[in-house]
Structure 1
């Protein structure tokens, strides 16, 4: 006798076990989301370092595509600035140490790193400091410095943080969120590309729904640090590295990302067509395919909607941002 057949509408069993781990760190404790594939999975865990205001719950699309094959570690790193508390300011080096605490306390000796947007300075520093432990480094939305529009918006956020207003008129947070998203995304490209437009709308809704001034939260989370040498000097060698960007990205342009790739010896540089700064949301299937191929050591030249370049020369010498 056999068991009753599974209903056609029943969801499939989860491909990974999911747990939150409490990470202790001197400046602030924080949670780390850990996804462990239920089937045996070759390869090292993937440490995911998101951008500003992203949390451990911001990667559902990536989880669906990768968690059956790769262990995922997604920490909620503490914010860089906490007004009103004794701990008022953290540096890139502090946040790099916080990320390292997660893999150490989870007893992960070697790991790959995916670092997106303002997570990239942390991922880059991890690979610089611990090249023997980082098996692969994947950076998306990287720039040696913020562009003029973003830098001006960060300065405005710092002014608001220093002089907060008790009562904002109705709709203020929505307008502020829209202003921030307009700088972080390409509104001209969004007019022609539905997926870019949809990702920007989702981001605006999420920023509006959260409490507090969205711009002040962005600055306090990590935005203020972008004014302080996000790309460290010295370059990088010895770690297989992929640097990727959407062709329509105006927050961290193709030229910005190429400049970061040029500091890494032997890096691969990828441009994804019909994509913007939120390419991991806009084109999640292509994004996951690029990660999977790179982690396997397979060439990326055959990826649809993508072009690649390869940097073979030693890292470019840098003395500043």
Structure 2
């Protein structure tokens, strides 16, 4: 591997190196303090809507101690090559082929969100090529609510409803109930919303393919053997802390830490709290017993974290109206209601359609609703939060302090 030694953040938007493997184009940039560096490189793998420039601070932080490689596999980041026939496992194998062709030593991947699935699979399938593994926003996407939200996003894209898709995706990435905690500014939130709204047709198709890979993923047959550090934002609703903890528990030698005042984008929202853990971890040093801005979970805690990310309380006014786009409606009773979902009872048909539902409650705007489970206890549901005004009104009703208008816009 020939590393560039002239790193500057401006280079992250320059054309990448391209390595072709079996017809697949892998885009990468590689930096170090020396051109030929035998040390294990850090490999950065981003999530949806991220590019090399998203990692400017991380590259600057890591370069004094490690070589750094940024990699975009097909359909990732700035790599526009579509790859509908490749599953997550095949993409992970491309990382191993990349390392082999460039004769790299064992890698230290940092995988975020979608990139975390690829990094974890690479480590599990190619243990000899992975020295250490750092993950954030990781899940096997087995949680029914997460799957329904992904499926709804795909359906909205198929129908050309990009505005509703963007609003729902934004609420998954940035928890609107904790903006004051996470410090996400209205300017950043609106910029990310615009970025999603303005996806090109190719970018939309890449998102479709990546989401379908996640939905098709049957789960990990084996877990990483190398030292592993899992970072979970304490307010992450999309990939919840208990999912991070359960993944860590399944690994051979993993630590899991909750990052305070962070959600799905913990690495960017709480850079110093995350860096205080990943710096010693990547250096092979023991993690600090206590670290500002985070809490390390003990082994006995990993399988005992609360699986509900918000309290679900019985509303004072329980009667509501459930309506379907076909024109039918039912009077129902809400037994649990939260910002992200709830539970209702009513005389509903057993074969409920999966989409097209609206919940009318009190004086609030109608709220789009997705059924999850229909059983004796009632209908469990999630809100896709595709309507900004309805989301804002619901949050203001459920939580004592109303959110600023920018929270759901």
TM-score by length of 2: 0.62
1:287 pairs, out of 264, 274, 279, with 274
1:213 CA displacement = 8.7
**Aligned residue for 1:229?**
217
**Aligned residue for 1:303?**
291
SS at match of 1:59: helix
1:211 CA displacement = 2.0
Instruction: Give the greater-gyration-radius structure (CA).
Output: 2
Which structure 1 residue ranges, 5 or more long, are not aligned?
Answer: 1-12, 166-171, 316-321
Q: CA RMSD in A?
A: 3.2
Kept in 2, the 8 Å contact 1:21–1:32? The answer is yes
**Aligned residue for 1:254?**
241
**Aligned residue for 2:253?**
266
Distance in 2 (CA, whole Å) between partners of 1:183 and 1:164 is 20
* Residue pairs, 1:66-77, within 5 angstroms: 66-77=62-73
**Aligned residue for 2:138?**
142
**Aligned residue for 1:185?**
174
Which structure 2 residue ranges, 5 or more long, are not aligned?
Answer: 1-5, 304-409
1:50 CA displacement = 1.2
Compared CA separation, residues 274 and 103, structure 1 to 2 (3 A): same
Compared CA separation, residues 24 and 86, structure 1 to 2 (3 A): closer
**Aligned residue for 2:232?**
245
1:140 CA displacement = 0.8
Compared CA separation, residues 53 and 102, structure 1 to 2 (3 A): farther
* Residue pairs, 1:1-321, within 5 angstroms: 14=7, 20-38=16-34, 43-79=39-75, 88-145=84-141, 147-160=143-156, 163=158, 165=160, 173-195=162-184, 200-212=189-201, 217-220=206-209, 222-229=210-217, 231-237=219-225, 239-296=226-283, 297-311=285-299
Q: Comparing 114-123 with 207-216, which one deviates more in the overlay?
A: 207-216
1:42 CA displacement = 8.4
SS at match of 1:103: helix
Distance in 1 (CA, whole Å) between partners of 2:82 and 2:135 is 32
SS at match of 2:47: coil
Q: Which has the higher contact order (CA 8 A, sep 6+)?
A: 1
TM-score by length of 1: 0.78
